[in-house]
């Protein structure tokens, strides 16, 4: 092989060494073989629901995990309340930064004695503002009044426990990365 042919082969080899990974990456992305780097386990609200300053002042300071309940709290609601109570305990030293809440328009017909960490908030304006959320969901409210993630509630204890673990993982991540609250 002559030196000209060797130079061309080397040049083509160098070009292919840089071009093939780019072409391969483009192909993988176009075929949707790669899933984006979403680390949250709950359903992200884009854009987040903003409560606004006046409604946010009606809530306890810091982070809130909440549920909107009607007077007939069925099994999914009971499982969610229990999960919120346990979540508050599972946070350990971070428990002071998070308040579990249950929203209702009027005083609840059921008793919250089994879930002493959960606080009831009676405010129809907040419930009206959160009307875009799917019904009977757990959701996270940041200290600035943004509802950003929501989670399904289940009647099955094991499913609800798995969903509560997901909520706990997301909440720990948010608390770790948060500079507010």
Q: Does residue 37 carry a pLDDT above 70?
A: no
- Domain 43-177, classified CATH 3.30.70.2470, yes or no: no
20: tokens are: 């093939």
116: tokens are: 């002493």
Q: What pLDDT is stored for residue 140 in this prediction?
A: 92
Of residues 102, 98, 99, 78, the one with CA closest to residue 153: 78
Residues with Cβ within 8 Å of residue 138, at least 6 apart in sequence: 65, 66, 67, 80, 83, 84, 150, 151, 152, 153, 163, 167
Q: What pLDDT is stored for residue 142 in this prediction?
A: 92
Q: CA–CA separation, 67 vs 77, rounded Å?
A: 8
* Maximum average pLDDT range among 1-10, 68-77, 112-121, 157-166: 157-166
Give this prediction's pTM: 0.75
Q: Would you call 104 helix, strand, or coil by DSSP?
A: strand
Kindly report the average pLDDT of the chain as a whole number: 86
Q: Is omega for the bond preceding 47 within 30 degrees of 0, making it cis?
A: yes
Q: Does residue 38 carry a pLDDT above 70?
A: no
Environment class of 20 (CB within 10 Å of its CB; exposed 0-12, middle 13-18, buried 19+): exposed
Give the pLDDT band of residue 115 (cuts 50, 70, 90). Answer: confident
Give the pLDDT band of residue 181 (cuts 50, 70, 90). Answer: low
Q: Does residue 88 carry a pLDDT above 80?
A: no
130-143 average pLDDT score: 87
Q: Would you call 151 helix, strand, or coil by DSSP?
A: strand
Q: What pLDDT is stored for residue 65 in this prediction?
A: 92
């Amino acid at each position: 092989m002559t030196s000209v042919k060797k130079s061309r082969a080397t040049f083509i080899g160098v070009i292919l060494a840089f071009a093939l990974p780019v072409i391969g990456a483009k192909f993988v992305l176009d075929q949707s073989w790669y899933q984006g780097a979403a680390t949250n386990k709950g359903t992200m609200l884009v854009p987040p629901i903003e409560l606004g300053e006046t409604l946010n002042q009606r809530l306890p300071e810091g982070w809130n995990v909440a549920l909107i309940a009607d007077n007939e709290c069925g099994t999914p609601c009971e499982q969610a309340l229990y999960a919120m109570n346990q979540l508050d305990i599972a946070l350990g030293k971070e428990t002071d930064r998070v308040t579990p809440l249950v929203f209702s328009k009027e005083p609840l017909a059921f008793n919250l004695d089994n879930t002493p960490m959960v606080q009831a908030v009676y405010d129809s304006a907040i419930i009206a503002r959160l009307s875009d959320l799917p019904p009977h969901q757990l959701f996270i409210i940041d200290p600035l009044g943004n509802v950003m993630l929501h989670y399904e509630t289940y009647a099955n204890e094991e499913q609800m426990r798995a969903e509560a673990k997901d909520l706990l993982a997301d909440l720990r991540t948010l608390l770790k990365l948060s500079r507010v609250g």
